[in-house]
Every structure is written in structure tokens, then in C-alpha cells.
Chain A
Amino acid sequence: MARLNLILLALLTACALGLVTSQHQARKLFAELEREQEQAKKLDVEWGQLQLEQSTWAMHARIEKIARDRLHMSVPDAKRTQVVLPAATEAER
């Protein structure tokens, strides 16, 4: 009888310690998850800012200005345009 009680006591202690460690583990993992989520949020914000930066740099007015002024490009005028239609190419041959 006394031996059974001792075994049960040992089991109980082991379980109790197990509970404590697993709870500790859970909290540690949760803190890590929390940190990662925080990181995800930060990256999300950064992504938004990068999108913003991209669309600011890629503004059509800016691109047009650079193409015109720095690269000396221009839209070909009507006289220098030739339109090739898919159907018309066969007929012309």
C-alpha cells in the first residue's frame, strides 16, 4: 500500500514538473511567435513604403520628362509611323 502511494507521489511530481516546463516552453514559443508577427507587420509597413516609392519613381510624368530631356526620345509623328495589321500582312505579300 505504502509503496503504491510512493509510486503515485513520484508520478504526480513528475507530471507537475512536466506541466511547469511545458507551460514555460509554450510561453517562450508564444513570445517568439509574437516577435515574428511584429516583424511581419514591420515588413508589411516597409512593403507599403516601397510600393509608394516605386510608384513615385515610376510616375508617368517623370518618365516622360526623362525620356524627353535626358534620352532625347520623342513620340514618332504620323509621317514616320507604319501600322502593320495581322490580316493585312498576308494580303500585301
Chain B
Amino acid sequence: MNYAASPVLAPHLPLWRSRLLLVLIAGGFLVLAGRAVYLQGLNNDFLQQKGQSRYSRVLEISANRGKITDRRGEALAISTPVKSVWAIPEEVQFSSQQRAKLAALLEMPPREIDKRLNDATGFVYLKRQISPDVAERVSELRIAGLFQNREYRRYYPGGEVMAQVLGFTGADDAGQDGIELAFQSTLAGKSGSRRVIKDRLGQIVEDTESIREAQNGRDLALSLDAKLQNLAFSQLKLALDKHKARAGAIVVLDARTGEVLALANLPSYNPNNRSRLSGAQLRNRVITDTFEPGSTLKPFTVALAVDLGRITPETMIATASGSLAIGKATIHDAHHFGDMTAAQVIQRSSNVGAARIALSLPTEAMWGMFDKVGFGSAPRLGFPGEASGKLRAFKNWRPIEQATMSYGHGISVSLLQLAHAYTIFASDGELIPLSLLRVETPLPGRQVISPATAHKLRDMLELAVQPGGTAPAARVMGYRVAGKTGTAHKEENGGYAKHKYVSSFVGLAPASAPRLVIAVMLDEPSAGQYYGGAVAAPVFSAVMGGALRMLGVPPDAPLKPLELPSDGSEIKETV
């Protein structure tokens, strides 16, 4: 039978029915095509993104903060990851047994945990910075609503010995004080991130792109020597206890490279446990505090006069009267030795002699000398809060001020500036820039006085530590030492306090070829003695002796035991 002849098809259907079907089906296809265009073309980006978020994740890559080491590579500050335990109080559910275990692990009473959870809503830290092993055991308790995150904590193995130099970091691992702050940009790492594909088990199966490389902070090698630092700190501490001083500071410089080998302050603190800190403990007196140095400034006036050819070490200075009237004021010397040579002015620390020499010099030249050795301007170490001290413009100097400045009053300096200035005597007249970082090749310095003048001054300063000078206690067996004491009344309420002193000593050794410059300062020694020669000089001697031995510097003097003059026979300087 023919298909076309089928009786079913025989009745003639109206044409519109097939047309209608055609239109409907074509319409259906059009809708589908439109939808396809919409999804594939117009809305593509959005959908791609949605799809990706189902399997790809962006992960943070944490970066370490750089280490701080001393010049030999010994670690002074290291960051290590720790965990912090936090909770969403509303979601916390634990049995009393779990609670007791948690309390034991976190080393806090169970009641304290309840209190923290009840006092807060949404988010509360239970304990910050716990060690990774403890954190592991806390997570094994499987307490609901308890979470952990990773943080860094910085440890300082040296403790109080170098607290003020290194400074510390805050909870967010950013430097807040000292070198941690000064070199923040070097030490800080930059955390990175990357995009990965994870499977349904949460394992990373593919690395799709690196959005940002993580950059670990760079390590920093300081100029400090941990052994020397420890020696300086312990000797300073002994002296502080012996003389009942309020505070003390010491700085050791390498005379050849300008590196700071040790820098200690007292009172100090333990940077690993910074609860109950006082401002006095935080102060880095060497760098940020200034004081009127007293007699330690005399060599600069004399050096200028020698350098200008006005005097030689043998020139007689008229000091016989023991006093010098300038306008309404009079300067006194405590002892009368008759007229002295310029060398003896330094040796016996005569105020009148220094003032007479100063008054023979032009004010501008004297200001220029102080300015060139760095007084009145910050040392530019990059350390936070570097003090620049006070050095007034020479145009306003009155004669009495010029005279007092020659022996260190009416001018203020930091201990670091003072030690730095003394390097001109140690390095043949050159002032080498200071550095807190290890120096491979020393930077060129600036010639302040001629090498010949520096040698003459070194000889004069050597006399000051011999018997007959102000500081025989500063001598070191086997080495020739040169140095100068300083004892000054403390400034208080615009005047000078009567019984409060600052005792200091600055010196260098070995005098034949100086390697080290050490400056010591003790604030308000109150156990009877207050002269720089009795309080600060022994600290200098102990640290210098130990340091030269550690550095293996060959002795330049016969190794005869030193005989210290009996107490009181050394010359007391005038204050």
C-alpha cells in the first residue's frame, strides 16, 4: 500500500495547523539560540568566574621577617611562627573535661576562659602567641567554635644586654623601636599570594598563577660584636651598682672603620617580656640623650689652637692665679700648680687654662671645630630619635660662653657624638662616618685636624691617664692608653644642680696605633665618689682591656703590673 494513499492522511487538514507548528518549533529554537548567545557571549565572564570559584582558591603565602645578627653572624633577633587561639563565643561548645584540658594547655585558670567567652560576642582572643606544639594539642581537643591563626613572634636571645639598640616589634611584626624600626623596610617581608586548583578533598592539584611572589625580609648584619657588647654591659652594670648611679651608658667604636662595636644602656629591660616597662628602661641614652660633657671637650679647643699654630704642647699658659675673671663671672681651678704648659692643661684638666686658650681663638673657628666633629647635628645613623645636641651660632657667643664651652659647659652632646668626635685623635685627624651595620670597606672620612696635631693631642691625652693626670685608673696593662675624664654638674630647672653629677670618660687605645674608642657615662653616681677619673675610668679600663684581648691586638707597652696611686692622690678635676 502506498504511504501517500494511507486513509489516515486522506482527510485534508487545514494548512494553518502545520504552519502553526512550524512557527512554534522555530520560535522554540530561537529562544534556545538566544539563551545560548546570552550565556556564551554576554554573560560569559560572570559565569566563568562563578565556575572558577568552585575549584580555584587564592592562597596567602606568608613571608618571614629578616634575622638580625651581630658582625660574626650570631643571631640577635629571630622571628618564628606561633599560633593564636581565638573563639566565636556563641559557637563554643565544650564539656567540662575539655574545658579543664584547654585551661591546662593555655596555662590559664578555667574561670578566666569562661570570663573571656562571656564578656565578648563575635570574636575573642583566648591566648595569643602560643608555641606550635601547644597549638597542635589544642586543636586535637576538637572544640567547636575554637579557631587558630598563624602569627609571627620575634625572639631576642640576647635579652637585656642589647635591648635598646635592637628595639622590638609589635604584635603585627612591625618594628616599633631601635634597629627594628630604623631598618623596617629591609627587615620586613612582603607576603605574596597565588591561585591554585583544589580537588574535592581539598588537596592542591594545580598551580594556575602566581599573583604576587612572597618576599622574605632580608637579614641584617650589624656592626655590633655580641661578645664585646656583653663585656661592656656587664662592666657598666658592676659600676652602676657600685656607685649607685641612676643610669649609665657606654659605646665602643672601631677607630678605623667607624663601626659601633658595642652600645649598652642601663637601666635595661628584657625585650622578650615587655610587661611593666618604664620610659627610663627604654631610653637609648647613647644616641638619644644629650648632656653637658664637661672636661672631655677640652682637647678640641686645644687641638684647634695647635692646628692653627697658635700654641704648641710646650707653650706656657698663665694659670698661676687659679682664676680668671670674664665680665662679671669668674672661672676657678680647684688646684694651683702655677703656670702650666698646654699639655699640662689637658693632663690636669685646668678650666682656667682651657678658657685662656679658647679666648685667644676666633669664635668662628671654634664653632667650626665643634661643627666639623659633629656637635650640634645628628649622627645620621638612621636610628629613631637621634639627638643633635645644642651648639649655638657663634655670632651670639659672649666671651664667658666661649670660655665655658672650652671645658664643656653651655654645649650639649650625646655620648655617641662625643665618642665619634674622639675618633679624630685616633685616626690621624680624620672623622670617619659612623655605622650600625657591618662595614666591608670603610667610607672616606673628612680631615678635621692635621695628622701632626692628632699625634700631639694623643700624647697629651696619654699624659692624662698617667700618674699625675686625672685618670690613672683608666690605664690598661700592656697597652698605651689615651683619654680624658669629664665631671659635670647636671642641669636642672635652668640651673646647675649642686650635688648631681654626670661622670664620663672618653679614651682610645693602643695609643701607638689606635683601634678602639670607648666612651663611658654614669648619671648621678651617689655612693660618695663622682669624679670621672674614679667612676667612669675604671669601666673604661676593664672594657678596653677585655676588648683588646678579644680582638687580639698586640700590646704596645711593657707588660708590667700597673700600680694605681693610693686613693685621692690623683688630681681631681674642677667641676
Contacts and interface: CB of A to CB of B under 8 A. Distances in A.
Interface of A: 26-27, 30-31, 34, 45, 48-49, 51-52, 54-56, 58-61, 64, 75, 78-79, 81-83, 85
A74 to B, nearest CB: 13
Contacts of B234: 61, 64
A74 B546 CA distance: 13
B371 interface: no
Given A27-B206, A31-B204, A55-B74, A48 B79 contact: yes
Given A30-B204, A59-B158, A83-B559, A52 B226 contact: no
Nearest to A38: B204
Nearest to B477: A78
A45 B199 CA distance: 28
A83 B227 contact: no
B157 A30 contact: no
19 contacts: A27-B206, A30-B204, A30-B207, A45-B80, A48-B78, A51-B78, A52-B78, A52-B155, A54-B75, A55-B74, A55-B75, A55-B78, A56-B157, A58-B74, A60-B227, A61-B161, A61-B234, A64-B230, A81-B559
Contacts of B562: 78
Chain B: interface secondary structure? mixed
Contact of B157 (A55, A79, A83, A85): A55
Contacts of B468: none
Given A61-B234, A81-B559, A49 B203 contact: no
A61 B78 contact: no
Nearest to B157: A55
B279 interface: no
A14 to B, nearest CB: 24
A48 B153 CA distance: 12
A52 B156 CA distance: 8
Nearest to A27: B205
Interface in B52-88: 64, 67, 74-76, 78-81
Interface string B542-565: 000010000000110001011000
B561 A78 contact: yes
B157 A60 contact: no
Interface string B177-216: 0000000000000000000000100011111000000000
Contacts of A83: 478, 554-555, 559
Contacts of B81: 45
A45 B65 CA distance: 12
Contacts of A56: 157
A30 B203 CA distance: 10
B276 to A, nearest CB: 22
Nearest to B61: A41
B478 A78 contact: yes
A83 B478 CA distance: 9
Given A48-B79, A54-B75, A75-B546, 11 more contacts: A34-B204, A51-B75, A52-B75, A55-B75, A59-B158, A78-B477, A78-B559, A78-B561, A79-B561, A81-B477, A83-B554
B207 A82 contact: no
Contacts of A79: 561
Contacts of B157: 52, 55-56, 59
Contacts of A52: 75, 78, 80, 155, 157
A51 B70 CA distance: 14
Contact of A61 (B75, B132, B205, B230): B230
Given A59-B158, A60-B226, A83-B478, A30 B206 contact: yes
Contacts of A48: 64, 78-80
A31 B157 CA distance: 38
Nearest to A57: B157
Nearest to B78: A52
A68 to B, nearest CB: 11
Interface in B522-537: none
A40 B304 CA distance: 62
Contacts of B230: 59-61, 64
Contacts of B161: 61
